[in-house]
Amino acid sequence: MADVKIDPDTFCKRLNKLKDHWKEHTSGPWAGATSLSIVVGGASEDLRYLKSISLQLWLFGYELPDTIMVLTQSELHMLTSAKKAALLQPLVERCESDVHLKMIVHVKPKAEDGSEQMQTMISAMKGDNAEGAKVGMLPKDKHTGKVAEVYESVLDKSGLELVDCHSGLADLLAIKDPSEVLNVKKAAMLASKVMKDFVVPQIERIVDENKKVKHSKLSTATEEAIVDPSKVNVKLRADNVDIAYPPIFQSGGNYDLKVSAFSDDSNLHDGVILVSIGTRYASYCANISRTYVINPTKKQEEEYNALLAAHETVMASLVDGARLADMVGKAAEVLRARGQEHLVDRLGKNLGFGMGLEFRESGHMLSAKNEGKAHAGMVFNVCIGVPDLVNPDAKDSRGRTYAYQIADTVVVPAVGKESEIATNACPRLWQKVSYTLKDDDEGDGDEVKLEDMTNGALPLRKTLRSDDPTYKSAEQLRKEK
């Protein structure tokens, strides 16, 4: 970790923000916690979204496996390995001068389990009033590894009352500072460019040349384009980018609008094609989904334009102070006004969610039951989708059932300004996502000839996340818990 350094300014600024938020909202989302105890267990190759890891990334800029953090009103304790302790040591002086917290870095000896150092941290959490002490934890975060196991045992025997501080951390991390918003915008730019300059040309070439290409192969090729931004002329360091989930390609009647969907081994069908891409830059997430329609009917054009209008209305409504519960109603109102009542009946229970270091901030869903509000600096994945629609005039059985999905990454602006759509670089207007093709024997007429913009190249890298047979997406892991 010789080249790794933690930015002390960012660390102190954000630790102060954590301390102030906790103090101001102790009895609310922090569940009355008198101290906070955040555990991160062993490292994993799986792409996982956990509040504990998000907090580490937010404070330190890095994930620190096998590390325990304890925060009291006057002290910050860190228990970790000797190498990671050396990384944290330069923060000690600044923590005391800028945050007014005594920072104590405990080194776990290699030959020991760390229980001795853990007892010191337990004593700090008990303070002068052990009976009234409440320890804020993240019980939904499940960690493995010896350090996490030993600490769980030590904590169980301590007699301390444990409370869930998940909501407090969710509220804290929901509002991004300008540097965080910039990271989201970079991730969104990459997602937009990959969709516009890689995915669309691939689809056009496949359809135009009547090629047989599997959804799964397109997903792999798209992942390759994401992790090597130079392939779409995006000047971002490859080391800083990743997928938020494996790219999803769906067509031919089988559609799953959940983020846990996957690209199967069916060939791309020249009907209604759904594509979803999630990207990360410096661990911050962005998302985009587009629907591409080949030889559409008039009904499909009207449906899509109504959904797009509803989508645009929701995005424009996400301003500072807006009620999240109102978004579903706003979308339904637009659909009804355009005579698309049948689409209202098929809308999902939510129209998206907050995003950041976690792909889905579940406390900030755009659902009718969420009484929360949007605040400047929040980021949302606004996603409108409708499944199980029927085209009785389809040319084949695979084209009979279809669906729509449109998603964009939206930044809530400062008071008085319009919301910012970070994925706007990729078009979503009907004339940009629909194609009318004619058979060659029908003559030249109005036939649209699609150009091969990629020279048939489907670049592949040696190792991708999705190449690993044991790889599980964050959504798959979440469902298994």
Residue type, 37: S
Residue 466 has pLDDT above 60, yes or no: no
Average pLDDT taken over every residue of the chain: 91
State pLDDT tens for residues 183-199: 999 999 999 999 999 99
Specify the pLDDT at position 1: 52
State pLDDT tens for residues 90-141: 999 999 999 999 999 999 999 899 999 999 999 999 998 878 899 999 999 9
SS3 108: coil
- CATH 3.40.350.10 for domain 8-173, yes or no, is yes
pLDDT band at 464 (very low <50, low <70, confident <90, very high): low
Specify the pLDDT at position 130: 79
SS3 44: coil
Contact (Cβ atoms closer than 8 angstroms) between residue 188 and residue 410: no
Which residues make up the CATH 3.40.350.10 domain(s) of the chain? 8-173
Cα–Cα separations (whole angstroms), residue 273 to 212, 289, 293, 308, 428: 14, 11, 6, 16, 13
Specify the pLDDT at position 443: 37
Give the β-pairing of 401-411 and 379-390. antiparallel
Specify the pLDDT at position 474: 46
Give the β-pairing of 361-367 and 134-137. unpaired
Helix (H) or strand (E) holding 405: strand 401-411
State pLDDT tens for residues 312-346: 999 999 999 999 999 999 999 999 999 999 999 99
Specify the pLDDT at position 340: 97
Specify the pLDDT at position 447: 31
E strand segments, 311-400: 350-354, 361-367, 379-390
Mean pLDDT confidence for 169-182: 97
User: Could you tell me which residues come within 8 angstroms of residue 85 by beta carbon, excluding any fewer than 6 positions away?
Assistant: 78, 105, 106, 107
**Distance, CA of 207 to CA of 188 (rounded, Å):** 27
Which residues pair with residue 381 across a beta bridge?
353, 409
Residue 2 has pLDDT above 60, yes or no: no
Which residues make up the CATH 3.90.230.10 domain(s) of the chain? 175-480
Return the higher-pLDDT residue of 48 and 447. 48
Residue 293 has pLDDT above 90, yes or no: yes
Angle between helices 215-227 and 200-208 (to 10 degrees): 150
Specify the pLDDT at position 416: 87
Specify the pLDDT at position 302: 98
pLDDT band at 456 (very low <50, low <70, confident <90, very high): very low
- CATH 1.10.3470.10 for domain 175-480, yes or no, is no
pLDDT band at 17 (very low <50, low <70, confident <90, very high): very high
Please tell me the pTM assigned to this model.
0.90
State pLDDT tens for residues 233-279: 999 999 999 999 999 999 999 999 998 999 999 999 999 999 999 99
